[in-house]
Amino acid sequence: MTRIACLLVPGADEPTQRLLLDVALAHSPSVEDGGSGIVYLDLRGLEALFGDEEKIARRLLNTIAERGLTGRIGVAGSRAGSRFAARSGDDISIIPPGGEAHKLGPAPLALLDLDPRMAARFGRWGIRTLGELADLPSRGLAERLGGEGPWLQRLARGEDPIPLRLWTPPLVFEESAECPWGVETLEPLVDLAAGLAEILCARLSRHGFSADAFEWSCRLADRTTHEGACAPAAPLSDPAAAAALVRSSLEAHPPCAAVEEVTLRARPVRVATAQPRFDEPTRPSPRQLTAALARLGPLVDARGIGSPLILDTHRPDAHQMTPFTLSPSPCPLPHWGRGELNPSPLRGESRVRGGPKASQILAMCRMRPPRPVEVTLAAGIPAHLRAAGLAGRIVAGAGPWRISGDWWTDASFARDEWDVELADGTLCRLARDGRGWRLEAIYD
């Protein structure tokens, strides 16, 4: 015999709803989240543990009262019957088996939470209570309202054959280790954290998850907390790669005092298995890529590892580094059709110097960083260039092109650029700003 209890706390927010679910799950293994402030429990088999239904209901109310909450409980043979009982009765309303229709008959029709259109129709019919709706002819109700009519009538009688949709608490992938003696050196700490990473990866694999981020927290002897996070290049559940990633993260940001407890959390994601396309280039192994990035971390500044993201500005070479991730599918290579690529390297200039070179497509080799040069001007035009490993007379040039921007900020910029050709045929890109002349690139 099915017996359902409805725990009702009006106006419950999300933390309160989670508290209600935890309280219900501590009393019954079958719990459903009914929405804001509503939780259903299956009471079958609980008498041996907590007593009869009234004692169970009183125990639930006392438990939430200890958390500062006030609610009501209804018990009936169905989900709908228990909800109506909780909303229409006292703090505890118990409907005996088979008595739903009789007990709920005087209850107002508003308990069904009808939409305005349906509520207005029942109002025109003079239907005000659940009992009046339950007494209507089922066939005529179906002819006028379709399938919704008999369904509402069954709810008014307290009939709800749909079983509970079981709620389970979200999985928390977290492992902790206490160090009451205090860990003062880095090596045993990173070994301990790496061991926690391996345990977490084993749990993730058992549940079919991967981790796309790890967060670690250290409770220090001076009563402060040292926290950090790291993200793999792609979601992973490989213990060795995760351990190497956590190890490098701790080595890059070590705590400043003895550690008494370390906690490691993994953010789980479910990665769908996908067959790569035949026209895709071979992608690196997430495990090997993560291990390589983890080894690079202690060798160079962590801010220099990642993917460059071009900023929305006209400032030349403006970018920032973002964490490196493997995209779901590599971007297709651009198709260079006729007219899609400007054959001139000179910003639309047809040529630097006449001749067949003007129709050639040239590659620009950027200098990283730009090389300082000495430029001699003649009537305001570059006439001679001298730099380390490069010198000569300038025989042709195009420019200048002014680039400026960010004038509304403190980091405004302005520079002039020239494309010049030396006597030996070398094509160069020069730039001049407040810091002087620089060699930006050479055309091949």
Give 263-286 pLDDT, tens digit per residue.
999 988 887 666 666 766 666 666
The confidence score (pLDDT) of residue 343 equals: 39
For the chain, the straight-line distance linking the first and the last C-alpha, in angstroms and rounded, comes to 85
CA distance 167 to 29: 9
Taking the CB of residue 197, how many other CB atoms lie within 10 A of it? Answer: 25
The band of 295, judged by pLDDT with boundaries at 50, 70 and 90, is low
Indicate whether 384 and 310 sit together in one domain.
no
- Answer with the one of 102, 127, 156 that is the final residue of a domain: 156
- Assess whether pLDDT exceeds 80 at residue 216: yes
Kindly report the average pLDDT of the chain as a whole number.
Answer: 80
More confident of the two residues 363 and 300? 363
- CATH number for the domain spanning 10: value is 3.30.70.270
Residue 236: pLDDT band by 50, 70, 90 thresholds? confident
Residue 98 covered by a domain: yes
pLDDT value of position 298: 62
Confidence band of 151 (pLDDT split at 50, 70, 90): confident
My answer on whether 117 and 226 are in the same domain is no
Question: 53 with 131, same domain?
Answer: yes
**Choice between 2 and 120, residue whose per-residue pLDDT is larger:** 120
Mark whether 317 and 183 lie in a shared domain: yes
**Is residue 302 a contact partner of residue 252, using CB atoms and an 8 Å limit?**
yes
Domain presence at residue 383 = yes
Whether residues 201 and 300 share a domain: the answer is yes
> For 15, phi and psi rounded to 5 degrees?
-60, -40
Q: In the beta sheet, which residues pair with residue 374? A: 386
Structure token pair of residue 376: 């001699």
Mean pLDDT of 108-132: 86
Q: How many domains does the chain have?
A: 3
Answer yes or no: is 68 within a domain: yes
Q: In this structure, are 246 and 371 located in the same domain?
A: no
Percent of the chain with pLDDT over 70: 84
> What are the residues whose beta carbons fall under 8 Å from the beta carbon of 30, sequence distance 6 or more?
41, 42, 164, 166
Out of 156, 179, 213, a domain closes at: 156
Same domain? 296 vs 389: no
The DSSP element (H or E) to which 189 belongs, if any, is helix 186-206
Same-domain pairing of 148 and 176: no
Question: What would the mean pLDDT of 430-442 be, rounded to a whole number?
Answer: 87
Task: Identify whether residues 365 and 315 lie together within a single domain.
Answer: no
- What local confidence, expressed as pLDDT, does residue 397 receive? 86
Residue-wise pLDDT for 86-110, tens only, equals 887 678 888 888 887 777 788 888 8
Q: Which of 271-275, 299-303, 399-403 has the lowest mean pLDDT?
A: 299-303
Q: Which residues contact 29 (CB under 8 A, 6 or more apart)?
A: 42
Q: What is the pLDDT of residue 355?
A: 42
Write out pLDDT tens, residues 338-361.
444 343 333 434 344 444 444 567
pLDDT at 331 over 50: no
pLDDT at 198 over 50: yes
**Is residue 38 situated within a structural domain?**
yes
Q: In angstroms, rounded to a whole number, what is the distance separating the alpha carbons of residues 246 and 215?
A: 9
Helix segments in 300-351, DSSP class H = none
Asked whether residue 397 is domain-assigned, the answer is yes
Asked whether residue 166 is domain-assigned, the answer is no
For residues 88-115, b (16+ Cβ closer than 10 Å) or e, as one string?
bbeebbbbeeeebbebbbebebebbebe
Interatomic CA distance for residues 252 and 377, integer angstroms? 49
425 inside domain: yes
pTM of the model: 0.49
152 CB-side CA count, 13 A: 26
DSSP letter, residue 355: S
Residue 302 has pLDDT above 70, yes or no: no
Q: Is the pLDDT of residue 375 over 50?
A: yes
Q: Report the pLDDT averaged over residues 63-92.
A: 86
Q: How does residue 73 score in pLDDT terms, banded at 50, 70 and 90? A: very high
CATH number at residue 239: 3.30.1490.100
- Mean pLDDT over 285-313 rounds to 69
| Across 75-79, 199-203, 310-314, least confident range | 310-314
Share of the chain above pLDDT 90, in %: 5
CA atoms within 13 A on the CB side of 156: 24
Domain boundary among 126, 156, 186: 156
Domain co-membership, 144 together with 191: no
Residue with tokens 């590599």: 330
Please tell me the distance from the alpha carbon of residue 172 to that of residue 210, in angstroms, as a whole number: 13
pLDDT greater than 70 at residue 32:
yes
Do 397 and 312 share a domain, yes or no?
no
CA distance 66 to 384: 86
Half-sphere exposure for 27 (CA within 13 Å, toward CB): 31
pLDDT at 429 over 60: yes
- pLDDT value at position 339? 41
**Mean pLDDT, residues 102-121 taken together:** 84
- Check residues 405 and 275 and name the one with the higher pLDDT: 405
Give the pLDDT of residue 300: 65
**What is residue 34's predicted lDDT score, i.e. its pLDDT?**
86
Whether residues 389 and 244 share a domain: the answer is: no
pLDDT computed for residue 299 by the predictor? 66
Query: Domain limits at 182?
Result: 171-273+284-325
pLDDT at residue 263 in the model? 92
Residue 410, judged by CB atoms within 10 A of its CB (0-12, 13-18, 19+), counts as exposed
Strand, coil or helix: 305 = coil
- Residue 100 inside a domain? The answer is yes
Find the range with the poorest average confidence among 156-165, 194-203, 389-398.
156-165
